[in-house]
């Protein structure tokens, strides 16, 4: 059933994170597709379409390109947003995010839930292509990267660092000298 949802067959992954920023700032960043594309590992870029939906491009973890649309279907600014993923018009899954102030001066608590049909049909395969075989773990990775970007302005990475093996991916932005560094490994 490409447009309906049977509650009992949905796979749900839920992760929470606390981010040391005001709720309005966190919410604004989360619903901005171009910001999301910066931290979500599976997204390369996102462009806003008329009507407010976000069309995004992805080189998935499996290495094959994909694309999709994220469309907000319900929201309460600074508190709640629900969206659905579409691939060429077919719904592949939904997500919700809830935002509330964290206790004390800790910032904002964000709770994200992803729902999709993992039974083996097109939706499940698509989500797996996008998020890998452990969507919960990928969601957590993405939320960590979301926090890093908001709190430090950077995403922690070691891609491009030296090692005594074939380096795949990553580019050295600059080098400190001739490639003659001796290291203990």
Partner 1 sequence: MGKHKVEVHTVPDPGIINPKDAIVRITSTAICGSDLHLYDGHIPTMKEGDVLGHESMGEVVEVGAGVKRVQRGDRVVVPFAIACGECAYCRRGLTSCCDNSNPNAHLPEAMYGAAPSALFGYSHMMGGYAGGQAEYLRVPFADVGLLKVPDGLDDEQVLFISDIFPTGYMAAENCGIRKGDVVAVWGCGPVGQFAIRSAFLLGAERVIGIDREPARLAMAGEGGATTIDFSDDDVRVTDALKELTGGRGPDHCIDAVGLEAYGDGVDAAYDRVKTMLFMATDRPTALRQAIQACAKAGTVSIPGVYGGVLDKIPLGAAFNKGLTFKMGQTHVHRYMDRLLELVEQKAIDPTFVITHRLALEDAPMAYELFKAKDEACVKVVLTP
- By the rule CB under 8 A, 51 interacts with partner 1: no
**Token representation of residue 84:** 């659905």
From 52-60, 80-88, 90-98, 158-166, span contacting partner 1 (CB under 8 A): 158-166
* Residue 13 phi, psi dihedral angles, 5° rounding: -120, 135
From 2-10, 52-60, 118-126, 154-162, span contacting partner 1 (CB under 8 A): 154-162
Q: What angle do CA 131, 134, 136 make, to 5 degrees?
A: 85
183: left (phi over 0), alpha (psi -120 to 50) or beta: beta
Residues numbered 115-134 forming contacts with partner 1, rule: CB under 8 A: 134
Q: How far apart are CA 103 and CA 112, in angstroms?
A: 18
- The minimum distance between CB 153 and partner 1, in angstroms, equals 7
User: Which of 7, 153, 168, 169: binder of partner 1 (CB under 8 A)?
Assistant: 153
- By the rule CB under 8 A, 42 interacts with partner 1: no
């Amino acid at each position: 059933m490409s447009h309906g949802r049977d509650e009992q067959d949905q796979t749900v992954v839920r992760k929470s994170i606390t981010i040391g920023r005001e709720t309005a700032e966190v919410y604004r960043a989360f619903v901005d597709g171009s910001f999301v594309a910066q931290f979500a590992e599976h997204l390369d870029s996102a462009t806003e379409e008329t009507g407010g939906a976000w069309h995004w491009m992805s080189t998935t973890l499996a290495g094959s390109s994909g694309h999709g649309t994220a469309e907000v279907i319900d929201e309460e600014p600074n508190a709640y947003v629900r969206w659905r993923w579409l691939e060429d018009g077919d719904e592949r899954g939904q997500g919700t995010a809830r935002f509330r102030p964290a206790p004390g001066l800790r910032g904002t608590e964000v709770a994200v839930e992803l729902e999709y049909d993992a039974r083996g049909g097109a939706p499940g395969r698509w989500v797996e292509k996008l998020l890998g075989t452990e969507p919960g773990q990928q969601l957590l990775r993405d939320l960590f990267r979301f926090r890093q970007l908001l709190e430090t302005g950077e995403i922690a990475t070691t891609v491009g660092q030296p090692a005594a093996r074939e380096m795949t991916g990553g580019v050295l932005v600059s080098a400190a000298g001739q490639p003659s560094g001796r290291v203990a490994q």
